[in-house]
């Protein structure tokens, strides 16, 4: 009777229904662009909640749908093609995606997806790196590093390490570089728990922190360079 109807209205959809429901989300985010930030924010939060649930449960159809969404997500952040195989060939200039014109709340929700999606591809992380290093909120590079560091199973270790290093030293201002470098250093040092050698994390973190200090000195921030070296 009425109790069954109420339960049916509130019960989570079966896996096949959830998979079909979220599959178009990457296209939705692209087509919404920055014109309806409230709908974009709701979509991002729904996608994150679904991905977080799949991480704790066995739901192959929805996981497969999330993998497919991630594979199409890069243009939402930026169109950033890979570097050419020929080092002498000209590089294609990346182009901003809808992410760059969204309010900070939407950008933060977008970055949070990196911490729960079941897979993170090179194209997505490359696009995210370009997006958060291009005049975005200064906290976003560190947020992106921390999100990926909490979801290392989603990407090959070498890809995650490369992502950390890119964000740690790629920002335009030392203030952002300093925060991102500390986040990257912490993320890399924490890898020791998953590595064969307890020194692996520190060995990975040292080049990143050294590059950050070099960047600070080049930009004339000697105090920042000393501060970063003391962390």
pLDDT digits (tens, 9 = 90+) for 2-46: 444 443 444 555 666 778 889 999 999 999 999 999 999 999 999
101/227: higher pLDDT: 101
Burial 100-134 (b: 16+ CB within 10 A, else e): bebeeebbbbbbbbbbbbbbbbebbbbbbbbbbbb
Per-residue pLDDT, 158: 86
Residue 26 to residue 145: CA distance in whole angstroms = 22
181/206: higher pLDDT: 181
Residue 191 to residue 31: CA distance in whole angstroms = 38
Q: What proportion of the chain, given as a percentage, has pLDDT over 70? A: 69
The mean pLDDT value for 70-80 works out to 95
Per-residue pLDDT, 218: 59
Q: At how many degrees (to 10) do helices 200-218 and 222-230 cross?
A: 170
Residue 168 to residue 176: CA distance in whole angstroms = 8
Range name among 40-54, 106-120, 154-168, 212-226 with the lowest pLDDT average: 212-226
pLDDT digits (tens, 9 = 90+) for 188-202: 777 755 545 444 444
pLDDT digits (tens, 9 = 90+) for 130-141: 999 886 688 899
């Amino acid at each position: 009777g009425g109790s069954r109807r109420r339960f049916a209205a509130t019960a989570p959809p079966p896996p096949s229904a959830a998979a079909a429901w979220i599959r178009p989300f990457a296209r939705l985010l692209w087509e919404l662009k920055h014109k309806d930030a409230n709908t974009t924010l709701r979509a991002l939060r729904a996608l994150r909640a679904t991905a977080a649930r799949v991480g704790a449960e066995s739901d192959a159809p929805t996981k497969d749908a999330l993998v497919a969404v991630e594979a199409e997500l890069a243009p939402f952040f930026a169109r950033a093609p890979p570097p050419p195989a020929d080092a002498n060939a000209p590089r294609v200039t990346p182009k901003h995606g809808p992410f760059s014109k969204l309010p900070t709340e939407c950008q933060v929700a977008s970055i949070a997806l990196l911490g729960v999606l079941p897979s993170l591809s090179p194209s997505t992380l490359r696009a995210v790196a370009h997006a958060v290093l291009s005049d975005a909120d200064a906290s976003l590079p560190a947020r992106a590093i921390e999100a990926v560091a909490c979801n290392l199973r989603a990407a090959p270790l070498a890809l995650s390490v490369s992502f950390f290093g890119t964000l740690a030293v790629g920002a335009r201002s030392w203030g952002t570089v300093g925060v991102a470098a500390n986040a990257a250093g912490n993320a890399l040092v924490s890898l020791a728990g998953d590595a064969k050698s307890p020194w692996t994390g520190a060995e990975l973190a040292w080049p990143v922190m050294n590059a950050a200090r070099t960047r600070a000195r080049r930009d004339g921030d000697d105090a920042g360079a000393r501060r970063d070296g003391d962390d």
